[in-house]
Structure 1
C-alpha cells in the first residue's frame, strides 16, 4: 500500500513537471515590456484588450457613490490629454486608451488594458497636476508591466496543474490536499497586485511623470494625499479610520506611505527629469479645472453618501431628508434623483418613484440605476413587458448587475418565457445560493421546459434554503414527485 502511494506521488510529480515544461517551452514565454526579461505569459495582448473591454462597464458601475461616469466634458478633455501623454511615455505606448472619472466618493484609481479611471473622490482631493500624473502613471505602469496578464497566466497554470495533478494522483487524499492548497494559492494570486507589483508601479509612475517634465517629488505628496483623502471620506460617512473595511483590503496590497517612503526617495533620486512642465506642478491650472468637481464632491459627502449609509441601516426617513437636501443644493446629479426614486419605491409611492427615475434619465440618458429602478417599478405594477424593456437596457450598460438579472428573470417567468427566465435567474442562484426563492422558481422553469433533472436539483436546493415557506413546501412536493420518475 505504501509503495503504491509513493509510486503515485512520483507519477504525479512527473506529470505536473511535464505540464509546466510544456507550457513554458511551447506555449507561453513573452518578453516583459518593462523589464526586458522573458516570462511565462499565456495571455496575448489581444486577449488583454478583450478582457479590458468586458470588465470595464462592470468595474465602472460596480461601486458605491453613484457609480458610472461623472459627466463633465471640459474637465474630462483636460485630464484625458494628460493621461494620453503618460500613455505615450509608457513602455506600451501603442495601446488605445480611454480615460473616465468614476462617479464615486471612494478615493481610488485603477487601470485595465484600454481604460484608465480615477474616482471623483480622489480627483477632488489632489493638489496639483503632478500628483494626478503620478497616480495615473502608477496605474498605467500596472498595464505596462502586464501585471494583470501575469496574474491570469499563473492562475491558468495553477488550474492546469491542479487538473493534471488530480488525474495523476487518482483522486485520493493527497489529491484533495493538492486541490485545497492550490485553490488558496490561486485566490491569492488573482485577488490583488503583489507588493512587488505595487513598488514596480511606483517606480514607473515616477519615471513617466518625470519624463513629461513634472517634479517627481510630488509622488510623495500624492501618496500622503491619498491617505488623507481616504480618512476624510471615512469621517464624512461616520466611520473612523479603524473601521476601514474596503480600504483595509485596498491598502493591504498597497504598502503604506511609511513603508514606501525610503523606496520612493531612492526612485526619485535615480530618475532623470525631462524638460520642466511649467513649475513642475501646474497647480494653478489644475485647481481651476477641478473647482467644479470639488463643489459637487462636497455635496455627495454632505448628502448622498450619508443618505446611502442611512438607507443601509433602514433609516428611510433620514435617507429621504438627506437626499432631498442634496437635490435642492445640486439638482443636476442623476444619482441624487435615482436614490430618492429607490426610497419612494421602497415606500410603494410609485408615482413619485417614476418621477424621480425619469428625472435621473433626463439628466443622464445612460444612468443605469434609473433603468433598473424603472424596471423594478414596472414589475411591481405587474407590467412585465415594460419591465423587460427597461431592465434589458440597464443590463446593456451594466452586464453584471445582479438585481437587474433577478427582476428581468422574474419578468420573463411571469410571461412564461421560461428559457429566458433561466438565463437570468441561474446567475443569481450561483452568486446568491441562499436566496429565499430563486431555486424554487428555477425548478418550475426547468420543469416547464422538460428538464426534470435540473428541476429536481433546484427544488432540493430550495428546500435546503427554506423548507417551511410556501415555495419551500411546493419545492419539496415537486422534488418528491420527480424523484421516482428519475429513478432515485
Structure 2
C-alpha cells in the first residue's frame, strides 16, 4: 500500500512540476521538465561534437552561424539557451539536441547557396526542439528511477556508473534518431514560421529539400537517414507556404553568407586530404596517411583533425615529443575536443608527465562522463603514481561504463582484478 501511495504522489509531483506549454499553446504532460531537458542537452553536446570530428576552428564562422540561428530563435516560443555549432565533418547533416543545442556540419554548409537556405535548415531543427520531440524519445528510453536522478547533471561525474551507462547508451541513439512523419511535418511548419517571421524567404527551405532529393538518387546525404523526405512532404510544405502568400522584402541572401561560404571553400582541399588520409590510416598504409595529413596541414594549419591523426601516428612511432606538439596545437584551436584531450593525456602518460596526464583525463571525464576511457587511463596514471586506491576506483568505473568492445577494456579488467586482490 505504501508503494502504491508513493507512486501516486510521485506521479502528481511530476505532473505539477512538468506540465509545460508547446507551440500550439496546449499544455502537455512530460516526465522531463525543461530544466532537466536543458541539462541533458548540455551533457550530450561534447559527445555529439566529438562524433563529428570536433568544432570547425574558425571563430568568425562559428559566430556567424550562431548569430543567424539566434536571430531565428528569438521568434520561437520556447526560451531555452539556444546555441549553434559548426563541426568539422564533411558528412551532410544537421541535428538538434534536447533543450537548445543545434549542430550543423561543414559538409552541409558547403552545399548551401544562400543565407535563406541556412535559415531554413536551422529553423527546421529549432522546430524539433520547440515541439519537444527529443523529450518524447527520451521518456521512452529512460527509466523512471533514472529520471529522478538526473537533476544534478551540472556535476554528471558524481552520478552512479549505472546512470551514466544508461545516459551513454541513449547518446548514440540521439544522433541517429529518426522522427516520425508527423513530427517532421510539425518541424517543417514551425521551421517555416520561424524563418519567415525572422524575415527570410520561405523558398530557402524548399531549395534545400529539392537539393537533398537530387542527392538521394546518387549519394543520399546523412540528413535524409534521420529526416525522411518523401515527395509528399515537399508538396505539403509548398502548399503550406502558399497559404501565407508571403509578400514584401524577404532575405534571400547576404554578402556575409557569401564571405563565410568562401572561407569554408578555401579549406575544402585540406579536408579532402584528411578524408584520403583517414582511409589510408584505416587500411594500415601509415606512411601514406602521414603524408596526406601533412599536406592537409600545409594547406590549412588549423585543421584539428589532421593534427590529431598526426599526433596518433607520431605516438605510434614513439616520437612522443613531436606527438605532444601536434596534440597541444589541436587543443589550442579546440580546447574542448574530447578526443584531443584523451590523446594528449596518453602522450603525457607515456612521457611520465603524470600530473599533466591526469588533467587531460579529468577534462575528458567532465566532457563525456559516460565514456570509460578517461577513467581507465586515469586509473593507469594513479597506478603508476602508487595511489592504488584511486586507481581501483577509476578502473571500477571504467568497467561499469565500457564500451566493452574497446581495446583497453580487457586490460582494465586485468588491472582491476589484480589490485582488488592486492
Could you state the TM-score of these two structures normalised by the residue count of structure 2?
A: 0.79
Question: Which residue in 2 is equivalent to 1:441?
Answer: 415
3-state DSSP of counterpart to 2:92: coil
Question: Which residue in 2 is equivalent to 1:103?
Answer: 88
Deviation at 1:283, TM superposition (A): 5.2
Deviation at 1:130, TM superposition (A): 0.8
Decide which of 296, 319, 324 is 2:267's aligned counterpart.
Answer: 296
Decide which of 61, 75, 89 is 1:75's aligned counterpart.
Answer: 61
Question: Which residue in 2 is equivalent to 1:463?
Answer: none
For residues 172-207 of structure 1, the C-alpha deviation after alignment (integer angstroms, 9 at most, x for no partner) is xxxxxxxxxxxxxxx89x954333212211111111
Decide which of 231, 238, 241 is 2:219's aligned counterpart.
Answer: 241
3-state DSSP of counterpart to 2:19: strand
- Change in Cα spacing, 1:447 to 1:49, as seen in structure 2 (3 Å) is same
Q: What are the ranges of 5 or more consecutive residues in structure 2 without an aligned counterpart?
A: 147-172
If asked which structure has higher relative contact order (CA below 8 Å, sep 6+), I would say 2
Decide which of 231, 234, 241 is 1:268's aligned counterpart.
Answer: 241
Deviation at 1:144, TM superposition (A): 0.8
In structure 1, C-alpha distance between the alignment counterparts of 2:90 and 2:294, rounded to whole Å = 18
Deviation at 1:99, TM superposition (A): 2.2
In structure 2, C-alpha distance between the alignment counterparts of 1:228 and 1:332, rounded to whole Å = 33
Q: 1:379 and 2:349 equivalent?
A: yes
Question: Which residue in 1 is equivalent to 2:72?
Answer: 86
Deviation at 1:259, TM superposition (A): 4.6
Decide which of 394, 401, 408 is 2:378's aligned counterpart.
Answer: 408
More deviation in 413-422 or 134-143?
413-422
Deviation at 1:157, TM superposition (A): 7.3
Deviation at 1:143, TM superposition (A): 1.1
1:391-402, aligned counterparts within 5 Å?
391-400=361-370, 402=372
Deviation at 1:362, TM superposition (A): 4.5
Tell whether the 8 Å contact from 1:52 to 1:115 is kept in structure 2 after alignment.
yes
In structure 2, C-alpha distance between the alignment counterparts of 1:389 and 1:288, rounded to whole Å = 39
Decide which of 108, 112, 131 is 1:145's aligned counterpart.
Answer: 131
3-state DSSP of counterpart to 1:47: helix
- Change in Cα spacing, 1:371 to 1:53, as seen in structure 2 (3 Å) is closer
For residues 114-133 of structure 1, the C-alpha deviation after alignment (integer angstroms, 9 at most, x for no partner) is 32221222112211111111
Deviation at 1:425, TM superposition (A): 3.0
Whose radius of gyration is greater, 1 or 2? Answer: 1
- Change in Cα spacing, 1:361 to 1:95, as seen in structure 2 (3 Å) is closer
In structure 1, C-alpha distance between the alignment counterparts of 2:46 and 2:412, rounded to whole Å = 26
In structure 2, C-alpha distance between the alignment counterparts of 1:399 and 1:229, rounded to whole Å = 37
Question: Which residue in 2 is equivalent to 1:51?
Answer: 40
Q: 1:344 and 2:311 equivalent?
A: no
Decide which of 27, 33, 38 is 2:15's aligned counterpart.
Answer: 27
Deviation at 1:363, TM superposition (A): 4.6
In structure 1, C-alpha distance between the alignment counterparts of 2:310 and 2:320, rounded to whole Å = 12
In structure 2, C-alpha distance between the alignment counterparts of 1:73 and 1:274, rounded to whole Å = 35
In structure 1, C-alpha distance between the alignment counterparts of 2:61 and 2:368, rounded to whole Å = 24
Q: What are the ranges of 5 or more consecutive residues in structure 1 without an aligned counterpart?
A: 1-14, 161-186, 232-239, 449-488
Tell whether the 8 Å contact from 2:46 to 2:336 is kept in structure 1 after alignment.
no
Tell whether the 8 Å contact from 1:418 to 1:446 is kept in structure 2 after alignment.
no
- Give the paired residue count: 386
For residues 221-247 of structure 1, the C-alpha deviation after alignment (integer angstroms, 9 at most, x for no partner) is 11233466799xxxxxxxx838x8xx3
Could you state the TM-score of these two structures normalised by the residue count of structure 1?
A: 0.70
3-state DSSP of counterpart to 2:28: strand
In structure 2, C-alpha distance between the alignment counterparts of 1:24 and 1:389, rounded to whole Å = 44
Q: 1:324 and 2:297 equivalent?
A: no
C-alpha root-mean-square deviation of aligned residues, in Å?
3.3
